[in-house]
Chains A and B, each alone.
Chain A
């Protein structure tokens, strides 16, 4: 599926259309940064890249090939990540090697199918207690609040909160594995 199907609405300033585009683009954009995972905070680079895509989208001109806006997003993320490496005064040869590694990354857009979504939802419903509460807190906060705030709201110590988030993900992954789905495999 060509994610540029959302382009006209995004250019017109429709954030809902941008959300649909982000839903499809995020996994591939994240994967494109994998070679730098030990060098830059990829989550921060990813979010900043998406914000910049939204800013420049009205001036984007398609080259007629599929996923033009996603390819632009990958270039923006790559440049932001390399800027961060230079800011850290990383050795130029290392930076060049990492830039080459970034250029080699390729992946396809994978949309979760309805059956997969249903399976994950079923496994989520089997969670209970503190792990479910911690996971729900992260989900409902949607990245807007630090874990310290979420932990305090749940009356948990930060370490306990983080352990419960880990436990929730592990339990979800185990449940999915029992159904033949290994989400932990890159």
Chain B
């Protein structure tokens, strides 16, 4: 795996989007499963920074994680 490919996986896993099981449970991101341990930790850090920036930019202080969860509960 090249550095660019690895970086792409880290960035992909840092999104708030997650697949769902047929029962609706939140599942791991496919890119996360393809990362080694240090890549997963790096992705965690990127997500942490990204969510704090998103929350600060959002008028209601909500990150994309929060928005994804709220979309689920209001859709039910």
Q: Which residues of A contact B (CB under 8 A)?
A: 15, 18-20, 22-23, 26-27, 30-31, 34, 37-48, 50-51, 54, 111-112, 116-117, 120-121, 124, 138-139, 141-147, 158-159, 162-163, 165-166, 169, 172-173, 183-184, 186
Contact = CB atoms under 8 A, between A and B. Distances in A.
B26 A48 contact: yes
B68 A34 contact: no
B71 interface: yes
- Say whether chain B's binding surface is mostly helix, strand, loop, or mixed: helix
A152 to B, nearest CB: 14
A47 to B, nearest CB: 5
Give the top 4 A-B pairs by smallest Cβ distance, nearest first: A143-B68, A143-B16, A142-B67, A41-B28
Contact of B17 (A18, A144, A172): A144
Contacts of A34: 44
B17 A44 contact: no
Size band of the interface chain B makes with A? 35 or more
Given A43-B16, A47-B18, A159-B4, A22 B28 contact: no
Nearest to B37: A38
Contact of B71 (A18, A54, A142): A142
A18 B49 CA distance: 22
Contact of A145 (B12, B17, B25, B46): B17
